[in-house]
A and B are shown apart, each in its own frame.
Chain A
Amino acid sequence: MSDMDEMDDGSGVVKKFMFLNRKAPHGTVYALEGLEVVLITAAFDQDVSMVFTDDGVYQLIKGIDSKGIEVKDFSKTYRALEGYDVEKLYVDQASMDARGLTEDDLIVDVAVLSVDEMANLMAEQDVVISF
Chain B
Amino acid sequence: MQFGILVNEGPYTHQASDTAYLFARAAIEKGHKVPRVFFYHDGVYNASRLATPPQDDRNVGARWSKLAADHGVDLVVCVAAAQRRGITDGVLGDNFRISGLGQLVEMGIQYDRLVTFGD
Interface size in chain B (residues, C-beta < 8 A): 19
Interface size in chain A (residues, C-beta < 8 A): 22
B101 touching A37, Cβ below 8 Å:
yes
A40 touching B102, Cβ below 8 Å:
yes
CB-CB under 8 A from A33, the residues of chain B are 40-41, 80-81
B108 touching A17, Cβ below 8 Å:
yes
Interface majority SS on A: helix, strand, loop or mixed?
mixed
The docked-state distance in angstroms from the alpha carbon of A105 to that of B109 is: 35
B56 within 8 A of A: no
CB-CB under 8 A from A40, the residues of chain B are 100-102, 104-105
Interface residues of B in 1-35 (CB under 8 A from A): 6, 8
Q: Which of B81, B101, B110, B114 is the one whose CB lies under 8 Å from A9?
A: B110
A36 touching B101, Cβ below 8 Å:
yes
Q: Which chain A residue has the least Cβ–Cβ distance from B114?
A: A127
A127 touching B108, Cβ below 8 Å:
yes
B76 to chain A: closest CB distance in Å?
13
Q: A3-B101, A40-B100, A129-B114 are in contact. Are A30 and B41 (CB under 8 A)?
A: yes
B80 touching A44, Cβ below 8 Å:
no
Contact with B along A38-60 (1 / 0, CB 8 A): 00110110100000000000000
CB-CB under 8 A from B110, the residues of chain A are 9, 11, 13
Chain A contact residues, CB within 8 Å of chain B? 3, 7, 9, 11, 13, 15, 17, 29-30, 33, 36-37, 40-41, 43-44, 46, 126-127, 129-131
